[in-house]
Amino acid sequence: MIPDSTGIEVVVSNRQRRLRINGRKVAGIAKQALALTGSRRFHLGIALVDDATIAKLNSQYHKTPGPTDILSFDYGEGQGELIISVEHAVAQARQYRTTPARELALYVVHGILHLHGYDDRTAPQRRRMRAAERRLTRRMGRCIERNELISRASA
């Protein structure tokens, strides 16, 4: 894929079958978030997976058992990858009384912030990151409100 005029390229791969995801809209959210963080050139891969897949990767790369919401990999020189559990987004949306689409958009923003040097291991880091998430999502506005982002897969 050739980057668009912004120099930002986002490739979304839906590797789970539980829900239909509009990959173009996920890519659009990522592109807008990258642009708002000041990225001029960036190549980002986003893999949407199920809990079982992200649990394996979480164990392999972080030595942490069980699923997580998102894994971020910074490859340097404006390249990175986000692995996102769609199942986790749906479960967390129920818990936090939001929509799966908003939760998924938040994971994209969260991962992009990780790729731009933010961390959330300590309480002060988490506060700084949460504030950055709120600023970024507020600036993105209606881009993350789209409820067409996720739909149930047909049985």
Q: What is the spatial distance between Cα 26 and Cα 4, in angstroms, rounded to a whole number?
A: 16
- Within a domain: 2: no
- The count of domains in the chain is 1
- The CATH number given to whatever domain includes residue 98 is 3.40.390.30
- Within a domain: 78: yes
Q: What is the spatial distance between Cα 49 and Cα 133, in angstroms, rounded to a whole number?
A: 22
Is the pLDDT confidence value at 121 over 70?
yes
- Within a domain: 122: yes
pLDDT digits (tens, 9 = 90+) for 64-114: 999 999 999 999 999 999 999 999 999 999 999 988 888 999 999 999 999
Task: Show the domain range for 48.
Answer: 8-140
- Within a domain: 148: no
User: What is the SS3 assignment for 101?
Assistant: helix
Is the pLDDT confidence value at 154 over 50?
no
Q: Which of 62, 70, 75 is nearest to 26 (CA)?
A: 70
pLDDT digits (tens, 9 = 90+) for 27-78: 999 999 999 999 889 999 999 999 999 999 999 999 999 999 999 999 999 9
- Within a domain: 26: yes
- Within a domain: 3: no
Q: What is the spatial distance between Cα 78 and Cα 115, in angstroms, rounded to a whole number?
A: 9
